[in-house]
Amino acid sequence: MKVLVTGGMGYIGSHTCVQMIEAGLEPIILDNLCNSKEAVLERVEALAGAKPTFYHGDIRDREVLDQVFSENDIRSVIHFAGLKAVGESVEKPLEYYDNNVHGTLMLVDAMKHAGVNSLVFSSSATVYGDPEEIPIKETTPTGQVTNPYGRSKYMVEECLRDIQVAAPQMSITLLRYFNPVGAHPSGTMGEDPQGIPNNLMPFIAQVAVGRREYLSVFGNDYPTPDGTGIRDYIHVMDLADGHIAALRAVGEKAGLHIYNLGTGKGSSVLEMVDAFSQACGHDVAYKICPRRPGDIAECWADTAKARAELSWEAKFDVTAMAADTWRWQSENPNGY
């Protein structure tokens, strides 16, 4: 089965493409390479034994979208393409709404024109904002988001809800990720952020490999066991498998389907630093800094729904996440 994977050259998209090929699916990648590199294709081919068809183009380019759909018998779409840096979104809200919201609407309109009714959307736990309950369930209220990135994901979710009501034959799945980390166990694929990393694990990795002097830990006075923020970190390989599980369980089932993808466990910033120190064999330097505005004390997922309906659950623990990240970073100190 051919599946269009927008943003398939990126961190989560590329790992998902490897798992898709191994599961017998045929990913067709569309990516504008604004935050990824074409070298990823060779790594995917080396791991999976097949090179995905790749279109260098933008989801906001209707001509490219129509070309992709007309040249391939696409049955479903996994939609990763989006800008994702919280801090940058505050500085560049126009770009985030244009790419993430407008781009998704362009994509869905092209799907409608091509008669493709199955969409799996890469959403985020940021749609929950500062949650009213922990662990977070799919029924936890959404919308109280604190930055344009999270708001763009929330807006897309709301648009997709309305679109599914108007087109009840569509299967639309919203996958709300928690904190993706890790790398392919081979060490040949991983996260390769452009510029200064926005997420914890790649920053720790760059400190460990000597590219950065120290990690800034924002706040050690939260009401948590060690005072640092607690998050639900999920291995990128588990996340990749979650997309395939969703595609198989509900990808052809009309309706709106919503799932949290996390481990159901929280780990603090200092626990992640400790796990990485053990993986790389030396201490990772860090400094305690003031809290960042908008950060919350703790956040992790209730994953019971995904377990029950998708027959999916995370398999990798923090030790594996750190070990796989270090293998990737140490063997590819400058990324791809």
Confidence of residue 196 (pLDDT cuts 50, 70, 90): confident
Tokens standing for 56?
A: 């260098």
Q: What is the pLDDT of residue 195?
A: 74
Q: What is the pLDDT of residue 76?
A: 98
Higher per-residue pLDDT: 9 or 295: 9
Q: What is the pLDDT of residue 104?
A: 98
Query: Angle of helix 62-71 relative to helix 103-114, nearest 10 degrees?
Result: 40
What's the mean pLDDT in 30-46?
96
Taking CA atoms, 148 is separated from 34, 90, 123, 228, 235, in Å, by 19, 6, 14, 24, 25
Q: Going by DSSP bridges, is the β-strand pair 74-79/118-124 parallel, antiparallel, or unpaired?
A: parallel
CATH class of 183-231+264-301+316-331: alpha beta
Q: Is 149 a catalytic residue?
A: yes
Cβ 284 vs Cβ 273: under 8 Å: yes
- What is the Cα–Cα distance from 93 to 152, expressed in whole angstroms? 9
Of residues 127, 134, 124, the one with CA closest to residue 176 = 124
Confirm or reject CATH 3.40.50.720 for domain 2-181+233-261, answering yes or no.
yes
Instruction: Tell me if the pTM is above 0.75.
Output: yes
Please list the residue range(s) of the chain that carry CATH number 3.90.25.10.
183-231+264-301+316-331
Please list the residue range(s) of the chain that carry CATH number 3.40.50.720.
2-181+233-261
- What is the Cα–Cα distance from 229 to 219, expressed in whole angstroms? 8
pLDDT surpassing 90 at residue 169: yes
* pLDDT tens-digit series, residues 75-121: 999 999 999 988 889 999 999 999 999 999 999 999 999 999 999 99
* pLDDT tens-digit series, residues 116-153: 999 999 999 999 988 888 999 999 999 999 899 999 99
Phi, psi (rounded to 5 degrees) for 48: -100, -15
Catalytic option among 11, 55, 128, 149: 149
